[in-house]
């Protein structure tokens, strides 16, 4: 047989199909047969490679989490290095967001699906908690540390709450619900990745400033 680009191994095709479907319909809205059909493989293969359904979901979720975490950490470290250990608020928030934007801009559909999935999990009450905690919270804690260092006089509670609002703004955008497009009658497109972070960063930074820097610790 002449050399040709071999098709992705079936285990990978399963993960890609699962990624897309889970992002679209959530855990319970997807059937193993649906994934198998989308991947063009037999149902039993899912169990052979990944065990039970929940385990498959975890593998999908973890697959890109480490890559994203590493990219974010590097961005933060670089911001710290280039600022003599005193990164600005903009730099910290950017280090959290720009890697996401970079992955989205590659045009890789897998990343788009995955990030929508993260948005879904983050808003999911029962499911999300443990999975987000295991895969993202260590890095988030590192970012919050940087925020605390940047605003040493701020009430820590306010920093956490501001991060919560920040996380919500990001999460909804990742989820790709299409609602803002409909609401703005096409004026805003969630797929417009080039501009959304240029807007999200100043929005969030202003919120942090207002909440954490205009009240000394202990203030109401």
30 binds DNA (CB under 7 A): yes
SS3 86: coil
143 binds a second copy (CB under 8 A): no
* CB nearer to DNA: pick between 54 and 179: 54
Closest of 193, 128, 194, 195 to residue 167, by C-alpha? 128
Distances (CA, A) of 195 to 21, 69, 92: 27, 23, 18
179 binds a second copy (CB under 8 A): yes
188 binds a second copy (CB under 8 A): yes
Stretch that binds a second copy, among 4-12, 80-88, 101-109, 115-123 (CB under 8 A): 115-123
- When CB distances are held under 5 to 8 angstroms depending on the partner's kind, the choice from a second copy, DNA, none that residue 43 binds is DNA
The DSSP code sequence of 142-154 is HHHHHHHHHSTTS
102 binds DNA (CB under 7 A): no
101 binds a second copy (CB under 8 A): no
* CB nearer to DNA: pick between 48 and 160: 48
Phi-psi category of residue 215: left, alpha or beta, with phi > 0 → left and psi -120 to 50 → alpha = beta
* CB contact at 8 A, 123 and 175: yes
* CB contact at 8 A, 207 and 165: yes
63 binds DNA (CB under 7 A): no
In the range 32-61, which residues lie near DNA by CB under 7 A?
32-34, 41-49, 51-54
């Amino acid at each position: 047989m002449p050399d040709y680009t071999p098709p992705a191994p079936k285990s990978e095709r399963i993960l890609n199909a699962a990624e897309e479907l889970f992002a679209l319909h959530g855990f319970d809205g997807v059937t193993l047969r649906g994934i198998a059909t989308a991947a063009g493989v037999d149902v039993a293969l899912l169990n052979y490679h990944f065990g039970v359904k929940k385990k498959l979901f975890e593998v999908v979720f973890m697959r890109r989490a480490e890559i994203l975490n590493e990219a974010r950490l590097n961005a933060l470290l670089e911001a710290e290095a280039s600022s003599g250990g005193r990164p600005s608020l903009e730099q910290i928030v950017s280090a959290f967001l720009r890697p996401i934007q970079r992955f989205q801009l590659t045009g890789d559909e897998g990343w788009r699906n995955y990030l929508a999935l993260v948005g879904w999990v983050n808003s999911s009450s029962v499911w999300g908690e443990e999975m987000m905690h295991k895969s993202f919270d260590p890095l988030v804690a590192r970012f919050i540390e940087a925020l605390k260092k940047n605003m040493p006089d701020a009430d820590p509670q306010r920093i956490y709450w501001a991060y919560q609002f920040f996380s919500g703004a990001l999460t909804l955008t990742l989820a790709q619900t299409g609602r803002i497009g409909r609401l703005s009658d096409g004026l805003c497109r969630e797929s417009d990745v080039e501009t959304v972070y240029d807007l999200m960063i100043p929005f969030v930074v202003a919120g942090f400033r207002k909440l954490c820097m205009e009240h000394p610790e202990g203030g109401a």
